[in-house]
Amino acid sequence: MSTIEKPRSAVLERILTLEVVRVTERAAVAAARLRGRGDEKAADQAAVDAMRRELNVLPIDGVVVIGEGERDEAPMLYIGETVGTGGGVKVDIALDPLEGTTLCAKNQPNSLAVLAIAERGGLLNAPDVYMDKIAIGPGYPKGVVDLDATPAENIKALAKAKGVAPEDITALIMDRPRHAALIEAVRATGAAVQLISDGDVAGVIHTTEPEETGVDIYLGIGGAPEGVLAAAALRCIGGQMQGRLILDTEEKRARAKRMGIAEADKKYEMHELASGDVYFAATGVTDGSLLSGVRFGRHGVSTETLVMRSATRTKRWIKAVHPLVEKFRTE
């Protein structure tokens, strides 16, 4: 019943699933060593360095189009940085070596090492600004919710499509003062609001397994890089998502324009955020509802990774045990 959206792409065919997994595994282990130390920057830097090293041994001609950190001066894998050994397939890369730096620093659930790889041109070159997002899981009629509808309209439409009362809907929203009106509007419908402190890539993915997570819809404003990464994930799993960049200053509009964004208030559909054949991988750093975190055990380091591909909709959960702990040491 699930339709394959596009014939298998010859371009990405040669990128082995396991190679993508290695990249997020390395970043996750590096960050996990600094879990719970209260030092977000150090954990982020460790993840960035590990991811860069691992990306650079992949047989790809890669360009980073979504990095992260501009906004909070976090260490970056720079937008425009070329990665890989070169000469291989031409791909665009979106990454967040440590998504949820604060979660990692506090050793709280759902920090992830995240990577998406697409055919050249397949990922929106978004600046590191905020993005307004809406996402739901698979199985709903197209357009049942919309970024331009009110929260009440969206909750009611979703409840109707699900065949339940608005009271039976749960919306996941980041706990921020900027969401006060949104939270109030959702609660006014009778729906439940689940607040998260950080981590909206995981947040969006939560909508795809409502039976497991209890989450039906993701709403609110988070990072634009995380929006593109979340869209890449949903392309692989199914579901619906829209996003709109928040370009609320002249400086941001100019920056977006330089990155090729002509229409400042455009509402992006999921397929415009991430198109063509896309790989998505996430390894758990801290324990979470999607993935277990890294374990430093007596017999080695254990990791858990979800890796998926949009062309085939294959999802793989790769649990790995790495007895050779030395390989994770930074050179």
Binding region for ligand VTB (CB under 6 A): 99-100, 176, 198-201, 222-223, 226
Give the interface segment with Mg ion, choosing from 63-71, 84-92, 159-167, 310-318 (CB under 5 A): 63-71
* Contact criterion met (CB below 8 Å) for 83 and 52: yes
Q: What are the backbone angles phi and psi of residue 116, rounded to the nearest 5°? A: -130, 140
Give the interface segment with Mg ion, choosing from 12-20, 79-87, 97-105, 228-236 (CB under 5 A): 97-105
Q: Which is nearer to Mg ion, 99 or 132 (CB)?
A: 99
Query: Whole-number minimum distance, CB 191 to Mg ion, in Å?
Result: 27
The answer to whether the annotation marks 138 as part of a ligand binding site is no
C-alpha–C-alpha distance, residues 72 and 30, integer Å: 21
Residue 200 binding partner per list ligand VTB, Mg ion, none, with a CB distance cut-off of 5 to 8 Å that depends on partner kind: ligand VTB
The answer to whether the annotation marks 226 as part of a ligand binding site is yes
Supply the DSSP symbol for 325.
G
* Contact criterion met (CB below 8 Å) for 47 and 76: no
128 binds Mg ion (CB under 5 A): no
**Strand, coil or helix: what is 224?**
helix
Query: Whole-number minimum distance, CB 65 to ligand VTB, in Å?
Result: 17
The answer to whether the annotation marks 178 as part of a ligand binding site is yes
The answer to whether the annotation marks 253 as part of a ligand binding site is no
Work out the angle at residue 182's Cα, subtended by the Cα atoms of residues 134 and 129, and round it to the nearest 5 degrees: 55
Q: Which is nearer to ligand VTB, 72 or 184 (CB)?
A: 72
Contacts of 15 (CB under 8 A, 6+ apart): 58, 60, 89, 91, 117, 279
- In the block, tokens 């062309």 appear at 311
Give the interface segment with Mg ion, choosing from 23-31, 64-72, 79-87, 231-239 (CB under 5 A): 64-72
Q: Which is nearer to ligand VTB, 84 or 199 (CB)?
A: 199
Query: Whole-number minimum distance, CB 234 to ligand VTB, in Å?
Result: 15
* Contact criterion met (CB below 8 Å) for 118 and 91: yes
Q: Would you put residue 229 in left (φ > 0), alpha (ψ -120 to 50) or beta?
A: alpha
Query: Whole-number minimum distance, CB 310 to ligand VTB, in Å?
Result: 21
200 binds Mg ion (CB under 5 A): no
**Gyration radius (Cα) of the chain, Å:** 19
* Contact criterion met (CB below 8 Å) for 24 and 283: yes
Q: Which is nearer to ligand VTB, 198 or 287 (CB)?
A: 198
One of 40, 92, 99, 119 touching Mg ion (CB under 5 A): 99
One of 40, 54, 92, 96 touching Mg ion (CB under 5 A): 96
Contacts of 4 (CB under 8 A, 6+ apart): 311, 312, 313
Instruction: Report how many residues bind Mg ion under the rule CB under 5 A.
Output: 3
Give the interface segment with Mg ion, choosing from 82-90, 96-104, 126-134, 263-271 (CB under 5 A): 96-104
Considering only CA atoms, which of 243, 316, 244, 328 is closest in space to residue 280?
Answer: 316
Residue 135 bridge partners (DSSP): 218, 241
Binding-site positions for substrate read: 99-101, 130, 176-178, 198-200, 223
Binding-site positions read: 44, 68, 96, 99-101, 130, 176-178, 198-200, 223, 226
